[in-house]
Amino acid sequence: MNTGVTTLTKLPDITAIYPFHGDEVLFALGILAFFIAFFIFQIGMETRHHKAIIGDFTASPAE
């Protein structure tokens, strides 16, 4: 595999060589939104699961 770079004199002229250049912030915000939505969904699912197991039981003070 050849990169085409034979000398380092033109190194500052080389631009980004990976796909989706410039979209890093967009992808980071998308991942952040996914994690926030995932945690909200997970907390709600666990709350419903615990309520199904325990019911509406509330601990009363020991007498």
Is 5 within 8 Å of 14 (Cβ atoms)? yes
Kindly tell me the sign of the dihedral angle through the C-alpha atoms of 3, 9, 10, 14. Answer: positive
Per-residue pLDDT reduced to its tens digit, 1-44: 677 777 778 778 777 777 888 899 999 999 999 999 999 999 99
Q: Which amino acid is at 46?
A: E
The first and second tokens of residue 48, run together, are 């419903």
61 band by pLDDT with thresholds 50, 70 and 90? low
pTM (2 d.p.):
0.60
